[in-house]
Each structure stands twice: as structure tokens, then as C-alpha cells.
């Protein structure tokens, strides 16, 4: 069962192979989503400062009935935290909001502030400062693993030049119809686990006829095919949902996609439109307009 399987990060920490994303799940819904996921067997919960639900996720963790040490909790340092002092303060704020003595993984949410995501400045200096703050929190035991998100090769190279602790993960947009093969290969070559957010393309894969027919071939749902695809690429999928039925469905992926069909899925036409989500920078939008 996939919920009982783990990857091993480059520092030896175990991380469950499937996690629950909590973006755009707020208030009591976030509390309930965490509790429902844990009840179903999920042990990996992913949140972020930018989601503005750390307090509710923390409440769900307290009320879920499972010991803290059995859970793997990820949060993300705000994309705007590009100085050492701001990052140090933000790390402690996350721990306070979550009500936890430590988090299992904390990552820089983006190499650039969201309002600057489409601009050329890569904030190399700011990312080195933010990384230093994460390294110190890691060495102090406040964080069990540290990493990055939405980082391209040059952003990771910039961190590696001065890092005393190597990034353990890079969380990126990856799904059928958007598989960053070169970046995945580069991360694997540096022993950095790639996590896949929006593995179902923010729901847009549900409209893809080729994906639909492939799912029918395996007698599975499109989300199940999408999650399995990521797992077979060695990625860690983070499907987001507050619906317990969807959580259960997303974790029921005990089947194998053939290598021939994996090749077909890897080469499906690149998605151009993420619907309502297209306004967000990671899906091609520009918030600075």
C-alpha cells in the first residue's frame, strides 16, 4: 500500500511517498482535511506560509489521534523572505502557528517573490541568505530536512556553491502533459528528491481525452493514473483535496503502467491552459500586472 511506503532523503530521513496538499483549503475545512487524511492512513501533510492555513493544519495534527512522530509535516518559507533576518523570523512563526517543536521538512517556496516570478532577477543573494537561515534551523533541530520549490537548475547551483547542507527536495509542477525531464534528471543526479505538486494539473487533466482513454485502459480514474505516473517516475506526488473520497481514491494506486504507456504519457502534448488557476505564477500567470 502506497501510504505505507517511503523514500529516503539524502540525509537519511524517511519521507512518505504520497502526501496531502492543502493549498486553497482554509479554516475548519483544513482542520477536517488533515484529520480525514490521517484517518485514511496518510502520514505526510504539506502546507505553506503562503497558504495561510498553518494554524488550522496544526490544529488538525493535534486532533488527529496519531502521535506527532508518526507524521511528516512540510511547510514552506514565504517566497518573499529573501533576507536572513526575515527568514529566521518566518521559520519561528511557522513553528508557532503549527504549534510544533519541529517540522519534518521546510522549503523555500520559490526562487523569486511571487510578484516577481516572471521577471529576470533570480534573487541569488536572497536565496543564499534564506538558505543560511534554513541550515541554522536544521542544525538546531527545528527542521528535520530542508529543500526548495520551483527552483530551476541555475537556482539550485547557486545554493550548492555556498551550502553546508545540500537541498533534500525540490518541489515542482510536474504531471502528465508537463514533465520537466531535464530538471528531474538534474535533481536525481544531485540526490535531490523531486516532489510533484498539482499532479492532476489542478484538475485540467480530467478534460484530456488521451489521458481519459489511458485511464479507462487500466480501469482506474484519471487522478489514480496521474498519481501512479508520478510515482513511476520516482517523484513524490502531493494531490490536493479536502474530499475524503478523493483522498482514498488518490492513494489506491496498486497497479503498474507499462513502459510503453509511460512513454506515451511522457510525450502527451504540453498543457497550455490551467483554467482558473492560470492567473497564478506557477501556471504561467503574472501577478504584477
- Judged against a pLDDT cut of 60, whether residue 183 lies above it is answered with yes
Count how many residues are written for the chain. 289
95, 58 contact by CB (below 8 A):
no
What whole-number distance in Å separates Cα of residue 263 and Cα of residue 267? 6
Q: Answer whether residue 211 is part of any domain.
A: no
Q: Answer whether residue 160 is part of any domain.
A: yes
Confidence of residue 289 (pLDDT cuts 50, 70, 90): low
- Judged against a pLDDT cut of 80, whether residue 287 lies above it is answered with no
Of the chain, the percentage scoring pLDDT greater than 70 comes to 99
Q: Answer whether residue 24 is part of any domain.
A: yes
Q: Answer whether residue 132 is part of any domain.
A: yes
**How would you classify the pairing of strands 6-8 and 14-16?**
antiparallel
Instruction: Judge residue 151's burial from the number of C-beta atoms within 10 Å of its C-beta, 0-12 exposed, 13-18 middle, 19 or more buried.
Output: buried
What is the separation of C-alpha 287 from the centre of its chain, rounded to a whole number of angstroms?
21
Which cell is 215 given? 485511464
| Catalytic residue check, 186 | no
Q: Answer whether residue 5 is part of any domain.
A: no
At residue 173's C-alpha, the angle toward residues 29 and 129, to 5°, is: 90
pLDDT digits (tens, 9 = 90+) for 107-165: 999 999 999 998 899 999 999 999 999 999 999 999 999 999 999 999 999 999 999 99
The mean pLDDT value of the chain amounts to: 96
Q: Answer whether residue 38 is part of any domain.
A: yes
Q: Answer whether residue 219 is part of any domain.
A: no
Check residue 276 and give its pLDDT.
Answer: 82
Confidence of residue 273 (pLDDT cuts 50, 70, 90): confident
Check residue 4 and give its pLDDT.
Answer: 97
Check residue 118 and give its pLDDT.
Answer: 86
Q: Which residues of 250-278 are buried (b: 16+ CB within 10 A; e: fewer)?
A: bbbbeeebeeebbeebeebeebeebeebe
Q: Answer whether residue 222 is part of any domain.
A: no
Q: Which of 51, 197, 229, 274 is catalytic?
A: 51
Which residue segment(s) compose the domain that 32 sits in?
14-198+234-242
- Judged against a pLDDT cut of 60, whether residue 35 lies above it is answered with yes
Q: What is the CATH classification number for the domain harbouring 130?
A: 3.20.20.100
pLDDT digits (tens, 9 = 90+) for 68-110: 999 999 999 999 999 999 999 999 999 999 999 999 999 999 9
What whole-number distance in Å separates Cα of residue 196 and Cα of residue 172? 5
254, 247, 176: which is closest to 214 by C-alpha? 176
Domain count, the chain: 1
Amino acid at each position: 500500500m502506497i501510504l505505507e511506503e517511503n523514500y529516503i532523503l539524502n540525509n537519511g530521513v524517511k519521507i512518505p511517498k504520497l502526501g496531502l496538499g492543502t493549498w486553497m483549503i482554509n479554516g475548519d475545512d483544513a482542520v477536517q482535511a488533515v484529520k480525514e487524511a490521517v484517518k485514511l492512513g496518510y502520514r505526510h501533510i504539506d502546507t505553506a506560509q503562503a497558504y495561510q492555513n498553518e494554524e488550522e493544519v496544526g490544529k488538525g495534527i493535534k486532533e488527529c489521534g496519531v502521535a506527532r512522530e508518526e507524521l511528516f509535516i512540510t511547510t514552506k518559507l514565504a517566497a518573499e523572505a529573501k533576507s536572513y533576518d526575515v527568514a529566521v523570523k518566518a521559520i519561528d512563526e511557522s513553528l508557532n502557528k503549527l504549534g510544533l517543536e519541529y517540522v519534518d521538512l521546510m522549503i523555500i517556496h520559490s526562487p523569486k517573490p511571487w510578484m516577481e516570478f516572471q521577471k529576470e532577477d533570480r534573487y541569488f543573494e536572497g536565496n543564499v541568505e534564506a538558505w543560511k537561515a534554513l541550515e541554522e534551523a536544521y542544525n538546531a533541530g527545528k527542521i528535520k530536512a530542508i529543500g526548495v520549490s520551483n527552483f530551476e537548475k541555475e537556482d539550485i547551483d547557486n545554493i550548492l556553491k555556498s551550502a553546508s547542507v545540500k537541498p533534500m527536495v525540490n518541489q515542482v509542477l510536474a504531471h502528465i502533459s508537463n514533465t520537466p525531464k531535464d530538471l528531474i534528471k538534474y535533481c536525481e543526479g544531485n540526490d535531490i528528491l523531486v516532489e510533484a505538486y498539482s499532479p492532476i494539473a489542478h484538475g485540467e487533466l480530467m478534460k484530456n481525452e488521451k489521458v481519459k482513454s489511458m485511464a479507462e485502459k487500466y480501469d482506474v480514474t484519471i487522478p489514480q493514473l496521474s498519481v501512479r505516473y508520478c510515482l513511476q517516475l520516482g517523484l513524490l506526488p502531493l494531490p490536493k483535496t479536502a474530499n475524503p473520497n478523493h483522498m482514498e481514491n488518490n492513494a489506491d494506486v496498486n497497479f503498474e503502467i507499462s513502459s510503453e504507456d509511460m512513454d506515451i504519457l511522457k510525450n502527451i502534448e504540453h498543457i497550455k491552459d490551467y483554467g482558473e488557476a492560470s492567473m497564478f505564477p506557477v501556471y504561467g500567470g503574472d501577478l504584477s500586472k
